[in-house]
Structure 1
């Protein structure tokens, strides 16, 4: 009995010690607060907020106009706060402020939190400096043949020097029935580009989601199918030789999840080497044309990124590819800059051209807003800035273009695709520039 009691006491003692050590470890780990993005932004202030620290007595808040906190705002140098928020007021519109927080427990003071940037809202319109006048690379915009007039055209000609057809240069539009081509829309876009000295990027010859029904239900032999595809690519590329100076030959060939080749009708009929065949036919039709492979989730999925690079490596052996298109359909909070940089590093190391091909940045990916708030507009602006800054730093020899996938928010494909409100682009419906446009400009500095 005594032995049993002794063992029980020993067990309880060990349990208490382990809990005590766990609590101490938690205190050490959790001792530094994490600052959140600034809230309630106005034209003269914002609310700083941060996480609770276990057993903290109070918090010390610093606010500065310098990221290194070499100077402090009056009254905001180690301001003592017992709550988890504090209103910062009396600030200047259009100026960026920085804040950080420390936790205090008795005589102990924690290390500094992360630094948060708070941009005080400007009182006037966003700057309208033309992007192409500042950028050292081609700045692109998508177009539709029916919208090459009015204010849309005015902005395109003012801001951009590169255009891409949104959907009218895909197989289902250009080759609607066997033996019958429809180039009316493409010819209009080509003429617009030629008349206005715009570079025109072709998008996209082969894409599983833009395959006409007669192709998906092709009744001939596999050899006849291959002959048909060769004729289609040859006809299109030859028709616009010297006018369309680059093409996305194959688009989105990597399957999500498995990161293997998507089992499209082209793979089924032509085999695993269908991609190589398509690029060879495009190269033969216009040897001077720059040939790209284009795909999404290039940055956000490391496995898919590896699969895309393998496609590029296989094509490069035979000089059948010139560049990679990374569709930048991203959100204000992801992917991380390091993941975007990984796309660039892999492309540049292969001596290929880099095209950020379809940039839009969701402001409402979680569908938790009904209007674009000032805070979210600034977070979106900062993501635009981050993306442009990364592209701007690419060696000139590897830069192709950075193309934005849409002009005004209400025209974005994302609205119907996700079925809820979002504001992913750089212009409001009245054609006024948003903070996202300012972020693009800031990324060029």
Structure 2
């Protein structure tokens, strides 16, 4: 295994706000959103849109201002483009509160590349829906926000032209390599952190089963719903319990990005110790044992970090958080960075003040854990308003209210808990030395 420093010397968190703003300013010339939707109000910061209305803005500092680590959120392009009051408040809250964004679904294979094209393994721009993520990239540039890439390879959200065609494993491998090459090169000046592979593991820590292209309706079911919903079309590259597609996905991303790029494996259910976390640990050890050449001619291990999605609930306790912290250390001891990539805290309905107080504690404790751990380089929410949140949409009437702002963009108790958790106490000056 390649030996690496336990604390990487270059991480996204070391970039100052001024450097982030300068990077964003260089991208402003390519803005495609109407300027009226993005331009700051008179007297506002040049790197941010106008502040939210006074009746919804929380008092005190914003999330992005209480820590030097990026604080991010998933973003939806269709909401950014809205011209009504909801769209305005969404954009304003996004600009004021967050220093990093991640497209919620706009970079996923099925939405970004809906067409096979003349040569499926050698895609061209016409095969892609390149206008789809553009509003998010434009808003991020205007607001001085970093952009995180999600995701290059996932067992879900694959286009119909892949699922409905009985490609061989070798053909799928070339299609995957071609997609990764095009996508990473296309956004190399915007995105330097990628979830290369997402959720490759089943609940027991083993690899997902390959889809069977000969099974009835396999194309319609694989990675979507039904009996084959947990199977992966990409696992047909190599077959059951074969890591080829994961290793080759990381190798392709490494090849097409500079050495400064950060490559992550991302998954849910690996926050606490157990079989799935053990499986993730084994997976990243395999990736660390392999190297690849970067686009600028350097040789690097295939993986830089592990993404803990952290889709949590109000059943979490301080003991769970302690277990999360100890489990995270197993990965950082390998020299990996870590990020909290999709944090939300679902509430079983109906919502009560008591449940919101528990939610507040969970947001606080996870925020504090990342703030205190040097190798935790960023923390992102999976949506910031209960109006636009996947848990409420996926389990209507059962679960919801999983974010830090309510449906009217007013700060919930969880917002203040999260902000307090991210805010580390300032060390006091000692009387004898004058040092902190």
TM-score of the aligned structures, taking structure 2 as reference length:
0.69
The alignment partner of 1:250 has SS state of strand
Post-superposition offset of 1:338: 2.0
What do the CA deviations read for 1:389-436 (whole angstroms, capped 9, x no partner)?
A: 1111101xx232100111211321111322324211100111110100
Structure 1, unpaired ranges of 5+: 1-123
The partner residue of 1:393 within 355, 359, 372 is 372
Is 1:269 aligned to 2:207, yes or no? Answer: no
The alignment partner of 1:411 has SS state of coil
Give the aligned partner of residue 206 of structure 1. Answer: 153
Is 1:189 aligned to 2:136, yes or no? Answer: yes
Structure 2, unpaired ranges of 5+: 1-55, 81-86, 118-126, 210-231, 291-300, 425-436
User: Which one has the largest radius of gyration?
Assistant: 1
Is 1:374 aligned to 2:353, yes or no? Answer: yes
1:2-151 equivalent positions in 2, closer than 5 A:
127-148=59-80, 149-151=87-89
CA distance in 1, matches of 2:183, 2:324: 33
The partner residue of 1:330 within 283, 301, 312 is 312
Kept in 1: contact 2:387–2:408 (CA 8 A)? no
Is 1:283 aligned to 2:215, yes or no? Answer: no
Task: Report the aligned-residue RMSD.
Answer: 1.8
Q: Which has the higher strand share?
A: 1
Give the aligned partner of residue 103 of structure 2. Answer: 165
Post-superposition offset of 1:191: 2.5
Kept in 1: contact 2:101–2:147 (CA 8 A)? yes
What do the CA deviations read for 1:354-381 (whole angstroms, capped 9, x no partner)?
A: 11000001222xxxx42x2222211111
Kept in 2: contact 1:127–1:438 (CA 8 A)? no
Kept in 1: contact 2:288–2:303 (CA 8 A)? yes
Post-superposition offset of 1:126: 5.7
CA distance in 1, matches of 2:171, 2:346: 43
> Cα gap change, 1:331/1:143 in structure 2, threshold over 3 Å: closer, same or farther?
same
Give the aligned partner of residue 259 of structure 1. Answer: 205
Post-superposition offset of 1:128: 4.7
Kept in 1: contact 2:272–2:327 (CA 8 A)? no
Post-superposition offset of 1:139: 0.2
The partner residue of 2:182 within 235, 241, 257 is 235
Give the aligned partner of residue 46 of structure 1. Answer: none
Give the aligned partner of residue 283 of structure 2. Answer: 311
CA distance in 2, matches of 1:270, 1:238: 26
Post-superposition offset of 1:276: 0.3
1:357-436 equivalent positions in 2, closer than 5 A:
357-364=341-348, 369-370=349-350, 372-395=351-374, 398-419=375-396, 420-436=398-414
What do the CA deviations read for 1:152-205 (whole angstroms, capped 9, x no partner)?
A: 111111111000011111001111121221111123322322233211000011
TM-score of the aligned structures, taking structure 1 as reference length:
0.68
- Relative to structure 2, which stretch is displaced further, 142-151 or 203-212? 142-151
Give the aligned partner of residue 328 of structure 2. Answer: 344
**Greater length-normalized contact order (CA 8 Å, ≥ 6 residues apart):** 2
CA distance in 2, matches of 1:224, 1:126: 53
Post-superposition offset of 1:304: 0.4
Give the aligned partner of residue 176 of structure 1. Answer: 114
What do the CA deviations read for 1:209-236 (whole angstroms, capped 9, x no partner)?
A: 1111211233343322211111111000
Kept in 1: contact 2:305–2:337 (CA 8 A)? yes
Count residues in correspondence: 314
